């Protein structure tokens, strides 16, 4: 019998249940992870107590937060969150509850007294690194289609294979995913994108993902018909996704950066393919999808900005790079370079000369930033109050003049010092007054 060292908080909650005459078992992923010698991050407890009985039992327990959902009591402690759920089956038994869970590897229970309880060969599947749907049919997926995405995510996270019967059920029920909460789709999809090599799963289960992101479908098999590319649009996209860091914004930008290519394709007189303005269509597609999947506005804004500028030519001059830093900011400029680098890695190896250019740009940008240069209005040595003192009215005029001054500084046409800036601001004011 494998002994699992349970955290003190879990032992305390189980003791409260047991002392009141109720059953209490740690269930699900925590047992699976413990068996794999992975430290669990979440703990779930199953009990034969009703939700009303649980509320009464834990009413006086000091927690940071307590909330109810679907016969589940969520207890938020300072060191962990614990979900306590009433047995799900009609008979309210542990066995019935475990057999209703998603996968055999998650259908495990544990208490100090009983050790691991396994009614469905979950331990054997863990040893064999297999993800298998619970039950003899696809009922578990029909009950909750998000489990289809969870199977993919667990496969990537644990490096387990999904058994063929389960895979068949996944594809057969993929159309149901789109009817589920967009927030839940978002959560599982993002976790899949943040796997070590998401291309393995995006490629194998592409038809599942396009069930709720049909906008990606045109990428598959679309020949770019240009010497710069050896992959079709989808394979190029997957290479780019793999080659950016495990960051939500970067992975989303990589996934959608060329989504507009099939819609902007033209051929020149030599039969070479071009995608003029494809970034604009890609931005529109990404905005539509990310909004539909309920991504937060800040994430959407950053992703769209990266897509818009992913093909922006790098000119290795201080003046040009200062303008780029101004557009992106000192931290986000490096994220753009990361995307551009990954984009180049997804092209024909004979045309990867841009990698040296990107690295040279990065070194120049570092030098520019260290040099205490001016990239934004807040970096200017004057502000709106200084302009008001010389008689410029509050409002749009101040913003306009500050932007004009910033452009002059970035272009090295004037120095970023108070006297020069004030002198130039006075000139702008006089020109405007004379025009009136």
Cα–Cα dist 399/413, whole Å: 19
Task: Tell me the backbone φ, ψ of residue 9, rounded to 5 degrees.
Answer: -65, -40
Given this model, what pLDDT does residue 76 score?
A: 83
Would you say 91 and 78 are in contact if contact means Cβ atoms under 8 Å apart? no
Tell me how far CA of residue 113 lies from CA of 10, 54, 105, 116, in angstroms: 14, 21, 21, 9
pLDDT in tens, the chain (436 residues): 567 889 999 999 999 999 999 999 999 999 999 999 998 888 999 999 998 899 889 887 766 556 677 788 988 888 888 999 999 988 999 999 999 999 999 999 999 999 999 999 999 999 999 999 999 999 999 999 999 999 999 999 999 999 999 999 999 999 999 999 999 999 999 999 999 999 999 999 999 999 999 999 999 999 998 988 999 999 999 999 999 999 999 999 999 999 999 999 889 988 898 889 999 999 999 999 999 999 999 999 999 999 999 998 888 988 889 889 988 888 899 999 999 999 999 998 887 778 999 999 999 999 988 876 788 888 889 998 988 888 887 788 888 889 899 889 888 889 988 998 998 888 887 776 665 5
Q: Which CATH number fits domain 8-128: 3.30.70.1560, 3.40.50.2000, 3.10.620.30, 3.30.460.10?
A: 3.30.460.10
Reference 375, options 334, 328, 337; nearest CA is 328
Given this model, what pLDDT does residue 435 score?
A: 55
Tell me how far CA of residue 417 lies from CA of 310, 405, 413, in angstroms: 34, 11, 12
Residues 270-292 as b/e (b if ≥16 CB within 10 A, e otherwise) read: eeebebeebbebbbbbbbebbee
Given this model, what pLDDT does residue 63 score?
A: 65
Would you say 96 and 88 are in contact if contact means Cβ atoms under 8 Å apart? yes
130-212: CATH class: mainly alpha
Given this model, what pLDDT does residue 66 score?
A: 62
Within 13 Å of residue 46, how many CA atoms lie on the same side as its CB?
Answer: 27
Tell me how far CA of residue 127 lies from CA of 33, 122, 161, in angstroms: 12, 9, 12
Cα–Cα dist 157/196, whole Å: 8
Cα–Cα dist 350/393, whole Å: 57
Q: What is the pTM of this model?
A: 0.89
Region of 57 on the Ramachandran plot (φ > 0 left; ψ -120 to 50 alpha; else beta)? alpha
Within 313-396, strands assigned E span none
Residue 42 CB partners (closer than 8 Å, separation 6+):
29, 30, 80, 81, 83
Residue 92 CB partners (closer than 8 Å, separation 6+):
48, 86
Task: Tell me the backbone φ, ψ of residue 59, rounded to 5 degrees.
Answer: -60, -40
Would you say 51 and 41 are in contact if contact means Cβ atoms under 8 Å apart? no
Reference 24, options 105, 115, 111; nearest CA is 111
Within 193-232, strands assigned E span none
């Amino acid at each position: 019998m494998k002994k699992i060292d349970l955290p003190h908080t879990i032992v305390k909650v189980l003791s409260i249940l047991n002392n009141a005459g109720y059953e209490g078992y740690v269930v699900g992923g925590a047992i699976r992870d413990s068996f794999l010698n992975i430290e669990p991050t979440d703990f779930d407890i199953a009990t034969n107590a009703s939700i009303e009985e649980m509320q009464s039992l834990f009413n006086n327990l000091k927690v940071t937060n307590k909330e109810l959902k679907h016969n589940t009591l969520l207890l938020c402690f300072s060191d962990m969150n614990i979900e306590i759920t009433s047995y799900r089956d009609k008979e309210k038994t542990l066995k019935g509850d475990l057999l209703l869970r998603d996968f055999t590897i998650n259908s495990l229970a544990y208490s100090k007294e009983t050790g691991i309880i396994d009614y469905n060969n979950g331990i054997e599947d863990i040893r064999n690194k297999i993800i298998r749907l619970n039950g003899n049919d696809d009922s578990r997926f029909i009950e909750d289609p998000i489990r289809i995405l969870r199977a993919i995510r667990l496969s990537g996270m644990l490096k387990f294979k999904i058994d063929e019967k389960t895979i068949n059920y996944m594809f057969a029920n993929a159309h149901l995913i789109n009817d589920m909460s967009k927030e839940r789709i978002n959560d599982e999809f993002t976790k899949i994108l943040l796997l070590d090599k998401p291309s393995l799963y995006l490629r194998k289960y592409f038809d599942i993902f396009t069930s709720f992101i049909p906008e990606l479908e045109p990428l598959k098999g679309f020949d770019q018909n240009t010497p710069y590319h050896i992959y079709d649009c989808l394979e190029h996209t997957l290479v780019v996704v793999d080659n950016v860091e495990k960051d939500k914004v970067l992975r989303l930008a990589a996934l959608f950066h060329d989504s507009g290519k099939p819609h902007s394709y033209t051929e020149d007189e030599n039969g070479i393919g071009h995608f003029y303005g494809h970034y604009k269509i890609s931005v529109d597609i990404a905005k539509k999808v990310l909004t539909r999947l309920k991504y937060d506005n800040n994430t959407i804004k950053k992703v769209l900005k990266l897509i818009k500028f992913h093909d922006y030519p790098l000119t290795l001059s201080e003046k040009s790079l200062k303008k780029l830093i101004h557009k992106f900011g000192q931290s986000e400029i490096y994220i753009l370079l990361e995307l551009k680098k990954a984009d180049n890695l997804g092209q024909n190896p004979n045309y990867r000369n841009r990698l040296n250019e990107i690295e040279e740009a990065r070194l120049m940008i570092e030098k520019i930033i260290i040099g205490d240069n001016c990239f934004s209005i807040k970096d200017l040595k004057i502000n709106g109050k200084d302009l008001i003192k010389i008689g410029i009215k509050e409002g749009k005029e101040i913003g306009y003049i500050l932007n004009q001054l910033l452009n002059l500084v970035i272009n090295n046409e004037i120095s970023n010092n108070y006297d020069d800036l004030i002198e130039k601001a006075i000139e702008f004011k006089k020109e405007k007054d004379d025009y009136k």
